[in-house]
Structure 1
Amino acid sequence: MAMMMPKLLLLIFLLASASSTLNADGSNELVMTEEAYRSWVKRVGSFKHSVFQKAKNKLKPCLTIKVDKDQSLGHFASVQKAVDSLPVNNPCRVVISIGAGIYREKVVIPAIKAYVSLEGAGADKTIIEWNDTADLVGQTGRPLGTFGSATFAVNSPYFIAKNITFQNKAPPPPSGALGKQAVALRISADTAAFIGCKFIGAQDTLYDHMGRHYFRDCYIQGSVDFIFGNGLSLYEGCHLHAITNSVGALTAQKRDGLLEETGFSFVHCKVTGSGALYLGRAWGTFSRVVFAFTFMDKIINPSGWYAWGNKSREMTVFYGQYQCSGPGADFGRRVSWSRELTQQEAKPFISIGFVDGYEWLTNL
């Protein structure tokens, strides 16, 4: 019942905003005017973030732990063992410095260990990798599922990662294969930042699950829905690279309610790769994604967006672009239910204020 309320609010709003016209055959038809549509865009594009608490980050480190493949050069040879050494309800910023090398392990940052920073020797030098897929049977005797397939999982707030590669090495699945989702990183907590990192995978590479997140100067590679979830996230200066020889999708945003304050915004990014790539698929009924000042190579499907085979979502999603460039950025053949945004409409999406970043990202 609770899930019906946002749809009811939307229906009331659209009906109130529509004008009644008379067809040639005498039948009445409700038609939404351009003015009403602009009002709808303004409404769904506004952010008050009332569901989030005020963010109070702690950036000054109180402890540094060294991880190195050669344990004689560090405190631990395993990233997970370094995380496990932290006290429960850690009260201050802890930096885990990770030396160059390939760390073959699954890592989980538990919810009770906040203020953790991981700093690598460079994204091409420090690599954390594993190869689980959703259909793999775990220790419980059941398939891991997409959630459990992650090479690296973050469940605690105020997490920071710099200059590290997170990789799921499961091979790219054939088109239409089931259970082959293979997450490189899952972020399931509020106020997380990733700077200069790489996320390497194929289907479902980056699970942007929930919370406010910031990605700067990152490289994200995949094939289908390779950035997905219901986070409220800003991607700034990121390189998004598709690896598919058929049809792929960059995003699958999961916003399911009109009042959910979530969505993905890509600003000053570039999209490259192979195949025919949708900018996004409407995983959620109210899916919300914006691209601004982004270079799009010719791989972009001219229609841009896909409603997940559900035409009703064409009335509720919020898909827009603003001052994008490149051969794939032409708005002329986009689906009619996407939007070339005005400066005013794009404004809420193009600064760190989109994720309340002035509270928790300054001096990062």
Structure 2
Amino acid sequence: MSEHRSKPRHRKGRKALAIGFPLALTATGTLVYGSDLGVFGSGAREASAAASAPDWATATADGFASVNALGQNGTYGGRDGETVTVRTQAELEKYATAAEPYVIVVAGTIDMAPVGKEIKVASDKTIVGSGTAGQIVGGGFFLGTGVHNVIIRNLTIRDSYQGVWNDKEHDFDAIQMDGAHHVWIDHNDLRHMADGLIDVRKDSTNVTVSWNKLSDNNKTFGIGWTDNVTTDITVHHNWFRETEQRNPSTDNAAHAHLYNNYLEDAPGTDVTSAYGNYARGRTKMVLENSYFQGVRNPVTRDSTAALVQRGSVFTGTSGRNESGGGTAFDPKTYYAYTLDKAADVPSLLRSGTGPRGSIGTTPAATKAATTLTVAQDGSGQYRTVQAAVNAVPANNPDRVVIAVKPGTYRETVRIPSNKPHVTLQGTGSSRKDTVIVYGNASGTPKPDGSGTYGTAGSATVAVEADDFQARNLTISNDFDEKANQSLSGHQAVALRTAADKVFLDGVIVTGDQDTLLLDTASKDRLGRVRMTNSYVVGNVDFIFGRATAVIDRSVITLKKRWDGTSGGYVTAPSTPANRKGILIANSAVNGDVADRTFHLGRPWHAGGDASLDPQTTVRDTTLSAAIRSTPWSDMSGFSWKDDRFAEYRNTGPGAGPAGTDRPHLTDAQAADQEIGDWLGGWVPTAS
């Protein structure tokens, strides 16, 4: 920020952090960097392949499947390997059982022989239907002990039924796992099998089941069958229709999080529900915002289970509807998520579950991006990032991916306004492998003697072009405050954006004071920014500016000043009136700092401009004890109470009740402060 403020203080040493995406908390509640890779992950070994891969080929799981555990960092399937298309059982079995990672596209209907055949899937696989065409008929998949990192998406798996409704002779499942971990089952149509549609058995864990339609079955979805209390599972946005039992039945699950599911027992059919969600044994279950229609015994628990339910809708139900047995657990301790309103669930799931035409297919009209490679060792086209930027044609009409190989690039980078549609893509196995770093500060003299850089000019990476993207890399400003106490102006920006439609996904942006400047090209210009699956590190006003910015599913890490003291401000918005400011959602704010020493924000009226109306909203976010009980502060004679600062549904030791010094949004107000309200019709996608 350009105005003078007291000098920030921090220690030079950077404490390493490690976390999966979405968020996972350690036992102490501190979030740290992990080796997960954002959208592209370790499959981005060659950026030319990663950049051209469609979103569905690089998708990652949410929920418990996203949590780092058992040596696996999230669930990303076969994106490290080739994409192959199969049309026969032999082809499918060849690639599904291979030792190497694969993205396997099922391009038509495969009739399994013999009926009931379950292909034994090996680790590191994505099996995905091509649009609505991919079908497995008369069989399914089996994931055995130790199999991990598997995605099964967008398939119809059906019709192994042998004519006996309560069939005890034919264990023909759509998807069965015995001792597997890190599995994501998403957007499938599962129906009419001889036994279960999904069986998660024998200590299988870190499983997410999402956006599936499960129908026309008896023993639908079973979890457990073990004396051990091991399984961590997330079940969300699934439509159970005409399924009699196990919807799901959860036995001895350590953590079962069920939300936004739709259980429907339609009248006048041959199927009558026996029960809906069932917590058995020593299960700990949290059930949220689901919709139960016509279901008998919609929620059932054993006396030994802990079941917390909140926010669900029950219509035409009868029989047992139970909760209790303890507090269970807080899902946001493990990962971030957003609840849909229970009343919206039926319409949302009727239209949104099952295979999608956009998954498993590549639109013919999509033009492949141009890829420029950067490598310090000379193995790429350019040795510096700026040299690759310079090679992008002025006013380029199409996407250009600058693929940066692992290494530390000590340089400043500027993407000028006449070079839109640029992506900076790190190609290492971690976002920490590719680092762009420099150490200018506001008060650093320019080499030509023309003065100092100023805050905006100190940026390591400056983005002035619209439709910019960055992923799987670190952008840092390592200005050494301790060694430069004589300088006036310690603001040191790592990344400055002054453009519209900026998408930051799977990045680390780290510095001290003024780390991330989210600006616009001018006061009257819109500048929308979305950051996901990322980390921002700093201590004083380190997320600031006048952009309309969303920071979602990310970690905001507070750090001490150079002398070891704690204290600072997370945000300093300078939002123009009648525009959205900074929204932090579904994230976590923490760090190795003293309790009650950091404010969430203060209003920056740049240049004393009283017409500005700064805004920060922090919602659905976990706050550590570092956050002050009065989290907002005045700045330069301007009161935060005259601007727009609020919270909504935050959790953690740093959260607090609404009050005069801590405003909370009402539910009605919060409904107008969703991510979509910020982005105004722009839906960023990786490209």
User: TM over 0.5, yes or no?
Assistant: yes
Contact between 2:542 and 2:569, CA under 8 Å: does it hold in 1? yes
Secondary structure of 2:369's aligned partner: strand
Shift of 1:96: 0.8
Counterpart for residue 137 of structure 1: 445
Is 1:194 aligned with 2:504?
yes
Letter in 2 for 1:258: A
Query: Where does 1:62-211 land on structure 2 (aligned, <5 Å)?
Result: 62-71=369-378, 73-120=379-426, 121=428, 122-138=430-446, 139=448, 141-172=450-481, 178-210=488-520, 211=527
Of the three residues 342, 351, 359, the one matched with 2:682 is: 359
Counterpart for residue 264 of structure 1: 582
Structure-2 separation of matches of 1:324 and 1:140: 48
RMSD (Å), alpha carbons: 2.2
Letter in 2 for 1:218: S
Query: Could you report, residue by residue, the CA deviation over 1:231-283 in whole angstroms, capped at 9, with x for unpaired residues?
Result: 1001101100111223200000012x433x13000111100011411000111
- Where does structure 1 lack aligned partners over 5 or more consecutive residues? 1-57
Of the three residues 673, 678, 681, the one matched with 1:349 is: 673
Structure-2 separation of matches of 1:246 and 1:321: 23
Shift of 1:209: 1.2
Of the three residues 652, 662, 667, the one matched with 1:326 is: 652
Counterpart for residue 316 of structure 1: 642
Query: Where does 1:20-99 land on structure 2 (aligned, <5 Å)?
Result: 60-71=367-378, 73-99=379-405
Letter in 1 for 2:573: Q
Of the three residues 591, 607, 615, the one matched with 1:288 is: 615
Structure-2 separation of matches of 1:231 and 1:59: 30
Assess, with a 3 A threshold, how the Cα gap between structure 1 residues 361 and 95 changes in structure 2: closer, same or farther: same
Q: How many residues are aligned here?
A: 300
Structure-2 separation of matches of 1:223 and 1:237: 20
Structure-1 separation of matches of 2:675 and 2:555: 18
Secondary structure of 1:193's aligned partner: strand
Structure-2 separation of matches of 1:177 and 1:247: 21
Is 1:251 aligned with 2:571?
yes
Query: Could you report, residue by residue, the CA deviation over 1:15-67 in whole angstroms, capped at 9, with x for unpaired residues?
Result: xxxxxxxxxxxxxxxxxxxxxxxxxxxxxxxxxxxxxxxxxxx9854311111
Assess, with a 3 A threshold, how the Cα gap between structure 1 residues 176 and 233 changes in structure 2: closer, same or farther: farther
Assess, with a 3 A threshold, how the Cα gap between structure 1 residues 161 and 344 changes in structure 2: closer, same or farther: same
Assess, with a 3 A threshold, how the Cα gap between structure 1 residues 207 and 340 changes in structure 2: closer, same or farther: same
The answer to which of 152-161 and 276-285 deviates more is 276-285
Shift of 1:355: 1.3
Letter in 1 for 2:464: N
Secondary structure of 1:95's aligned partner: strand
Counterpart for residue 362 of structure 2: none
Secondary structure of 1:83's aligned partner: helix
Of the three residues 294, 303, 316, the one matched with 2:630 is: 303
The answer to which of 218-227 and 177-186 deviates more is 177-186
Contact between 1:318 and 1:338, CA under 8 Å: does it hold in 2? no
Structure-2 separation of matches of 1:123 and 1:235: 18
Counterpart for residue 30 of structure 1: none
Assess, with a 3 A threshold, how the Cα gap between structure 1 residues 59 and 212 changes in structure 2: closer, same or farther: farther
Shift of 1:178: 4.0
Contact between 1:161 and 1:194, CA under 8 Å: does it hold in 2? yes
Name the TM-score, length of structure 1 as normaliser: 0.78
Structure-2 separation of matches of 1:307 and 1:266: 20
- Where does structure 2 lack aligned partners over 5 or more consecutive residues? 1-364, 521-526, 606-611
Query: Could you report, residue by residue, the CA deviation over 1:306-357 in whole angstroms, capped at 9, with x for unpaired residues?
Result: 02153x634421111111000101135x6x254211222112322234112x
Secondary structure of 2:388's aligned partner: helix
Assess, with a 3 A threshold, how the Cα gap between structure 1 residues 228 and 126 changes in structure 2: closer, same or farther: same
Contact between 1:172 and 1:202, CA under 8 Å: does it hold in 2? no
Structure-2 separation of matches of 1:258 and 1:112: 28
Secondary structure of 2:418's aligned partner: coil
Shift of 1:286: 1.7
Structure-2 separation of matches of 1:250 and 1:67: 33
Contact between 1:221 and 1:241, CA under 8 Å: does it hold in 2? yes
Is 1:220 aligned with 2:536?
yes
Shift of 1:171: 2.5
Structure-2 separation of matches of 1:123 and 1:100: 9
Secondary structure of 1:306's aligned partner: coil
Contact between 1:95 and 1:116, CA under 8 Å: does it hold in 2? yes
Assess, with a 3 A threshold, how the Cα gap between structure 1 residues 319 and 146 changes in structure 2: closer, same or farther: same
Structure-2 separation of matches of 1:363 and 1:272: 28
Assess, with a 3 A threshold, how the Cα gap between structure 1 residues 278 and 178 changes in structure 2: closer, same or farther: farther
Letter in 1 for 2:556: L
The answer to which of 288-297 and 313-322 deviates more is 313-322
Between Structure 1 and Structure 2, the one with more helix by share is 1
Structure-1 separation of matches of 2:517 and 2:486: 20
Shift of 1:172: 4.5
Contact between 1:59 and 1:93, CA under 8 Å: does it hold in 2? no
Query: Could you report, residue by residue, the CA deviation over 1:164-195 in whole angstroms, capped at 9, with x for unpaired residues?
Result: 10000112569998400000000011110000
Identity %: 30
